[in-house]
Amino acid sequence: MRILLVTWTDQLAAKLQILNPGLECCGIVVDEVEPAKKILEKIGLPNELLHPMYDLKECVRDFYYDYIICSEQAWDKSIFLEVQKYDVPKNKIVALNCLSYTDFWLERALRYYKEHATEFEMFATGISLTEKGLDITQFRRKLFNFGHSSQDLYYNFQTAKFALTCGGA
């Protein structure tokens, strides 16, 4: 079975490890090609498979594949939506969202916040200092704490952006 893998570079190594070795990649589309080359070198795949995200339309149109695997975070559907823009039949697109514990925790927190956003007047994001060091009972206003150990700035920003669009805080 031939696949076209579309993913963010920072997730490439993890996603390649969980894919069935019997799958044949006709191409790998990533946001940053240079760092992805190092990942492919470690795994033993040729760099010729790599294509930048701005070539996605041509890859979808010109490559022979059985399926396109869109690999992203469970709460970020941007790759899947981008692939859909190129008239790919829905039965040819596979959304691969593998959750780590952090992803699982964050997805549950986001879902809860979305359902209860109007109950909160503030929210906090951050790393373990926010998660463990922020005593939400000491605030006069009701606060939702999104802090989580080892959470990077990208996820803090995405979480804050999401929370602001939910109508709370």
pTM: predicted TM-score of the whole model, two decimal places: 0.57
Q: How far is residue 160 from each of residues 98, 117, 166, measured CA to CA in Å? A: 22, 12, 10
Is 107 found in the same domain as 146? yes
Mean pLDDT for 65-92 is 82
Size of the chain, expressed as the number of residues it contains: 169
Is 114 found in the same domain as 49? no
With pLDDT > 70 as the criterion, what percentage of the chain qualifies? 90
Q: Which of 67, 96, 125 is the last residue of a domain?
A: 96
Is 92 found in the same domain as 110? no
Task: Give the span between the Cα atoms of 3 and 6, in whole angstroms.
Answer: 10
Q: Which of the two residues, 11 and 49, has the higher pLDDT score?
A: 49
Is 90 found in the same domain as 154? no
Is 106 found in the same domain as 159? yes
Residue that the structure tokens 């906090």 belong to? 124
Task: Give the span between the Cα atoms of 31 and 23, in whole angstroms.
Answer: 22
Is 88 found in the same domain as 7? yes
Mean pLDDT for 22-46 is 89
Q: Domain total for the chain?
A: 2
> Interior CA angle at 115 toward 113 and 119, to 5°?
70
Q: pLDDT digits over 125-139, tens only?
A: 888 888 788 888 888
- Range of weakest confidence among 14-18, 118-122, 165-169: 165-169
Whole-number mean pLDDT of the chain?
Answer: 83
pLDDT at residue 47, as a whole number: 92
Is 134 found in the same domain as 79? no
Q: pLDDT digits over 85-140, tens only?
A: 998 888 898 877 655 556 667 777 888 888 888 999 999 888 888 878 888 888 89
Is 109 found in the same domain as 65? no
Is 105 found in the same domain as 88? no
CATH number of the domain enclosing 15: 3.40.50
Is 89 found in the same domain as 6? yes
Mean pLDDT for 143-149 is 85
Is 92 found in the same domain as 115? no
Residues 6+ away with beta carbon under 8 Å from 8 = 30, 31, 71, 72, 79
Q: Which of 74, 96, 118 is the last residue of a domain?
A: 96
Is 143 found in the same domain as 82? no
Q: Which of 48, 66, 96 is the last residue of a domain?
A: 96
Domain that holds residue 122: 101-165
